[in-house]
Structure 1
Amino acid sequence: MVPRTRHTPAPRVHLPGPHLLPAPARRARRPLGRERLAQRAHPPAGARRAAARRVPRRRGRRPVRVPGPARPPGRGVNGPVLRVATAHGDGGAASRDALRSRLLADVLRQVGVDAPVTLVRRCRVCGSHAHGKPEVAAALAVGVHVSLAHTSARTAVVAATGPVGVDIEDVDAVAAHPVAGVLLSPAEHEAGHPLDAESLTRTWVRKEALLKATGYGLHVPPSAVTLSLPGAGEPRLLGWAGPGAAPVPVAWDEGRCTRAGLPTALTAVVVLAGAP
């Protein structure tokens, strides 16, 4: 006989009423259009930090880079391009012209102009095309100017994206002539300009390069120009007694040419702002 066991009822479990149950989570309302734009423009600081940590993952094809318009020849050149070469052959006009043409073609290629070297001239004083400042027509059409200079042993050419002038002179040649009277302005005399040959040559090439860049050349006497003294840093134009407004130099380049068997020569290049 199986003994009976007393049945013990399970304890009652009291369930909370509906008013005690937690409310179901509501789905966040999607921001309206204007609110979304405001969030994009001013995201919370945490969102900005999280976005900075995320590395975007590229999908699909890479974007195709479309090239921009080609840069016009000669644009964007930072400074003048100068070439100085020693004359070869008999040193006559024909060999000098051939050397000059080769140097011009070289400097023009360096500033982005690959065109025939055909020199044209125009005098700023009388308008004649028989003399005056030389230019290369194809280069001038794209804003590139040139300038030429030579001594008995050297030829110098320069190209720049602005009115430019170059000069080269042998120190011995300047020393052999009394140039101070025609070279220096009254203000330079008063300032005590040095009268040694190298200082006078330095001032001469600076002034002639400047006058070439203006297009006047030696139609304006060098004594009408007052510059800072040699050895006082980059040249500065202090006075202009020539026609019209004073030119505005924006770049200078100077050099000293030494080679065994040749006289020492000094060079100066100046680029002006705007049209001469």
Structure 2
Amino acid sequence: MLPTGPPARRARLDAVTVTVWWAAPVEPASRPDLVALLDAHERERMSALRRAEDRARYLAAHALTRLVLAAGLDADPAALELDRTCRCGQQHGKPRLAGRPDAPGFSLTHSGALVGVAVGPGPVGIDVEQQRSLGDLAGLARHALSPVERAAGPVEANGFLVTWTRKEALVKATGEGLSSPMDAITLTAPDGPAGILDWPDSGGPWWVADVATPWPDHPGAVAGAGPAAPPIVVADGDAVLSVVRGTMGA
């Protein structure tokens, strides 16, 4: 059974805890109340996605983000203004809340049958990947694994995806995203606890930790700033999404 922490309808905004909500994708046509929470940019991005499953993941992840942040900040989820300005000036960077200096760090992710949102003090990043066959595993390994990791032995898909989730959580926490070279990061082996062995010029310290998910074939990881991982609590995002707008915190 997936462990749960504080009441799922309240974001836990304290000085030490990272809370992770997991939820299932939501078909937009079935939940116009959730679609109404999105801003114009989000609705445009969602509508542009060709596959129905991608639109369902997008809606669940972005609505869940708004709901948990609004609950913790005592705000209207639809009124939250997200700034996504990248270094290039376009609106595809790491999202942050505009005009809210009291806002926590947050990050979202989606893959396969899961979407996730992490909220915590300071910068935070989260990633989940559905385990699957990978066509060009050797090419992906050259891109994402450090020379030390590649020299450790044969690479198999499931172990690679565990390492990928850990590294993507880290680069999302920094705000650099996939523009940051993953092969510059050396982590512990995927079959053991997550940890950073070497990351030159990272601007750290940073931490990374595996996080439990509802599905064993969806490994997840969360990362943030600091010398060690804080307490990490897992909460029920489906319960949050099931609440009709206007009743959060009831």
Q: TM-score range by the shorter chain?
A: 0.5 to 0.7
Displacement of 1:130 in angstroms is 1.7
Q: Counterpart in 1 of 2:48?
A: none
Displacement of 1:166 in angstroms is 0.6
Residue 210 (structure 2) pairs with residue 272 (structure 1): no
Q: For 1:221 and 1:210, locate their aligned partners in 2 and report how far apart those are by CA, in whole Å.
A: 11
Distance 1:76-1:256 versus aligned 2 partners, 3 A rule: closer
CA contact (8 A) 1:182 1:223 kept: yes
CA contact (8 A) 2:166 2:208 kept: no
Residue 206 (structure 2) pairs with residue 217 (structure 1): no
For 2:198, the aligned partner's letter is: G
What RMSD in Å do the two structures reach over aligned CA positions? 2.7
Could you tell me which of 102, 118, 137 is aligned with 2:81?
A: 118
Q: For 2:148 and 2:210, locate their aligned partners in 1 and report how far apart those are by CA, in whole Å.
A: 24
Indicate the structure (1 or 2) with the bigger Cα radius of gyration.
1
Could you tell me which of 239, 253, 259 is aligned with 2:198?
A: 239
TM-score (norm 2): 0.65
Per-residue CA deviation, residues 180-214 of structure 1 (Å, 9 max, x unaligned), is: 2212101112333x522221111000000000001
Distance 1:256-1:200 versus aligned 2 partners, 3 A rule: farther
Displacement of 1:273 in angstroms is 2.8
Matches within 5 A, 1:176-187: 176-178=135-137, 179-187=140-148
Could you tell me which of 59, 63, 70 is aligned with 1:98?
A: 59
Could you tell me which of 7, 12, 16 is aligned with 1:78?
A: 16
Give the total of aligned pairs.
188
Matches within 5 A, 1:186-205: 186-192=147-153, 195-205=155-165
Matches within 5 A, 1:131-142: 131-137=92-98, 141-142=101-102
Q: For 1:198 and 1:97, locate their aligned partners in 2 and report how far apart those are by CA, in whole Å.
A: 24
CA contact (8 A) 1:121 1:135 kept: yes
Query: Any idea what SS the aligned residue of 2:224 has?
Result: strand
State, as a whole percentage, how many aligned pairs show the same letter: 32
Unpaired runs of 5+ residues, structure 1, are: 1-72
Q: For 1:156 and 1:236, locate their aligned partners in 2 and report how far apart those are by CA, in whole Å.
A: 21
For 1:170, the aligned partner's letter is: Q
Unpaired runs of 5+ residues, structure 2, are: 1-10, 28-51, 228-250
Relative to total residues, which structure has the larger helix share, 1 or 2?
2
For 1:120, the aligned partner's letter is: D
Distance 1:216-1:182 versus aligned 2 partners, 3 A rule: same
Q: Counterpart in 2 of 1:87?
A: 25
For 2:195, the aligned partner's letter is: R
For 2:196, the aligned partner's letter is: L
Q: For 2:196 and 2:53, locate their aligned partners in 1 and report how far apart those are by CA, in whole Å.
A: 35
Per-residue CA deviation, residues 12-43 of structure 1 (Å, 9 max, x unaligned), is: xxxxxxxxxxxxxxxxxxxxxxxxxxxxxxxx
Query: Any idea what SS the aligned residue of 2:23 has?
Result: strand
Residue 166 (structure 2) pairs with residue 206 (structure 1): yes
Q: For 1:238 and 1:92, locate their aligned partners in 2 and report how far apart those are by CA, in whole Å.
A: 34
Could you tell me which of 105, 125, 131 is aligned with 1:145?
A: 105
Distance 1:75-1:154 versus aligned 2 partners, 3 A rule: closer
For 1:91, the aligned partner's letter is: E
Q: For 1:196 and 1:131, locate their aligned partners in 2 and report how far apart those are by CA, in whole Å.
A: 32
Q: Counterpart in 2 of 1:128?
A: 89
Could you tell me which of 184, 187, 194 is aligned with 1:227?
A: 187
Displacement of 1:271 in angstroms is 1.6
Displacement of 1:149 in angstroms is 1.2
Displacement of 1:177 in angstroms is 3.7
